[in-house]
Structure 1
Amino acid sequence: MTGISADAWVLLALAAVLIGFAKTAIGGLASVSVAVFALVLPTRESTATILLLLLVGDVIAVSHYRRDCDFGLLRRLIPAVIPGLLLGTLVLARVDDVVLRRLIGAILLLLLALQLLISARDRHQTQARTWSTAATAGVGAVAGFTTMVANAGGPVMTLYLLSQKVDKMRFLGTIAWFFFCLNLCKLPFSAGLGLINRSTLVTAAVLAPGVVLGAGVGVVTARRLRQQTFDRVVLVASVLSAIPLLLP
């Protein structure tokens, strides 16, 4: 903590507010916070600190949207999530900060490209897309991997849920429960890698009020948000957050 400058604290605080807002309104905006934390903190420390802050936001999101979850969709995804988490843990244990930082950026850009492709193809489709068992398992595995390595599983779930044509409240409830359970599962993996320590706990505790503030604003905003606006903001946030991570 002592190595963080005042300007860096301001950036981290704003990113914490954005995490809370993303958890209760526009999930894709969390990618911006991932980028900010990865740029300001050592990359491994950033993943652990964000995980703790995401859990704060998860608790708030679940408390607000607990009745809106589609548990049928979640049951089809969850079995494949654990292998994705294990693979992500292996990557975290073997790569250095520079490689991990660029990997996060590449993952975000890849997810952006996939979202653009599917959105363009399904522009006039009104019925939910039918996913095979293998494709659904693939979504779960990729969500587990990306959230373990880069805390960037949100865009994967966004693609999946948008293809299912879920309404806004069902979307928010399903996302809230999925990532609450997923982030709880990630805690022992992160602890086993030595990422949860005194420094990350203290940093997260200092920034947690920002998450609460952002979540409150997000709840109010979500009730007024149009789906078209949601889609556009997610795409813009994803590309803006990914590009800086790929630069030298």
Structure 2
Amino acid sequence: MPELSVLAWVALAVGAMSVGMSKAALPGVNTIAIALFAAALPAKQSTGAVLLLLIVGDVFALLLYRRHARLRALLPLIPAVLVGILAGVVFLNYASDTWTKRVIGVILLLVIGVTLWRRRRERHDPDSVPGGRVMAASYGALGGFTTMVANAGGPVMTMYFLAMRFPMKEFLGTAAYFFAAVNLAKVPFSIGLGILTVDTVLIDLVLIPAVAVGALLGRIIVRRMDQRFFDVFVIAVTILGAVYLLF
């Protein structure tokens, strides 16, 4: 087991709880986990540790919301996500940590801007049909890229599901299937890049209960949350995450 200070373990535990809450109720909160893990662990090790906990969180999300998923909505995303993941693997071999964060921050701000613009346009034209192949390809490629390089694909795909006008539980159920598949696909690449190690697994085994606590708290929260608050919260947290990564 790696030697960490008490403060580092507290930061990791809070980050693990935020992963559980993000999967069960509040997408985008896992940005907190990315920040806390990056502060407590070396850059590559933190990315691997977050990845494994995200997979654990995906399991909880599937148990809670799998019946609400709209799986057909994910089919147009698959080719673009794979391209994005491969681009992320290449990018990781050359980019520094600083440039990685800044590039993702810029991407998130652009995605947020496009999503808000689309939602405003749709309010003036309620009969318009959301989505399309170009939209799915764009969000999918950016989501695959950002999730590979920094586990930051959540905010990008959150904006996609918002743009598709998913109700809250359909949002959470569909996202659960999507991220479970994507995160599992990243595991072989992460091992090859040295991001996933034995030390990473040992740390995560200690933190799994914190993910479970976060998921249970998220389940309680989602029962008391309306759709409007959900949408506003998701957008606000995504903006904060993008600004953090940028600066």
Quickly say closer, same or farther: Cα 1:5–1:114, change in 2 above 3 A. Answer: farther
Listed one character per residue, the Cα deviations across residues 80-132 of structure 1 (whole Å, up to 9, x for unaligned) are: 21111101111122223333343444444444434443344444554564433
Distance 1:46 1:106 in 2: 21
Q: Provide, for residues 186-220 of structure 1, a one-character-per-residue CA deviation record: whole Å limited to 9, x for no partner.
A: 11110111111111111111111111110111122
* Structure 1 position 73, deviation (Å): 0.4
| Partner residue, 1:86 | 86
Where in structure 2 are the equivalents of 1:6-25 lying within 5 Å?
A: 6-25=6-25
Single out whichever of 132-141 and 188-197 deviates more from structure 2: 132-141
Normalising to structure 1: TM-score of the pair?
Answer: 0.90
- Is the contact made by 1:101 and 1:246 (CA closer than 8 Å) also made in structure 2? yes
What CA distance in whole angstroms lies between the structure 1 residues aligned with 2:166 and 2:101?
A: 33
Q: Is the 8 A contact 2:168 2:230 kept in 1?
A: no
Number of residue pairs the alignment of both structures matches: 247
Q: Give a deviation string over 1:158-194, Cα, whole Å, max 9, x none.
A: 2222222222211111001000111111111101111
- % same residue: 43
Structure 1: stretches of 5+ with no match in the other structure: none
2:204 equivalent to 1:195: no
RMSD of the alignment, in Å? 2.1
Contact kept in structure 2, 1:80 and 1:138, CA below 8 Å: yes
Moved more, 237-246 or 120-129: 120-129
Shift in CA distance, 202/220, structure 1 to aligned 2, threshold 3 Å: same
Q: Distance in 1 between matches of 2:148 and 2:155?
A: 14
Equivalent position of 2:159 in the other structure? 159
How far residue 143 of structure 1 moved from its aligned partner, in angstroms, is 1.2
Q: 2:57·2:215 contact (CA, 8 Å) conserved in 1?
A: yes
Question: Can you give the 5+ residue segments of structure 2 that lack an aligned partner in the other structure?
Answer: none
**Which stretch shifts more, 219-228 or 238-247?**
238-247
Q: 1:208 to 1:125 in 2, by over 3 A?
A: farther
Provide the rounded CA distance (Å) in 2 between the counterparts of 1:239 and 1:4. 31
With the length of structure 2 as denominator, give the TM-score of the two structures.
Answer: 0.90
Q: Distance in 2 between matches of 1:94 and 1:176?
A: 31
> Which residue identity is paired with 2:187?
L
Q: Does 1:138 align with 2:119?
A: no
1:241 maps to which residue?
241
Do 1:144 and 1:153's aligned partners in 2 also have CA atoms closer than 8 Å? yes
Within 2, Cα distance between the matches of 1:176 and 1:47?
Answer: 20
Q: What CA distance in whole angstroms lies between the structure 2 residues aligned with 1:4 and 1:105?
A: 29
Q: CA deviation at 1:49?
A: 0.6
| Separation (CA, whole Å) in 1 of partners of 2:174 and 2:226 | 18
- Judge which range, 235-244 or 11-20, deviates more: 235-244
The answer to which of 208-217 and 231-240 deviates more is: 231-240
Q: 1:118 to 1:9 in 2, by over 3 A?
A: farther
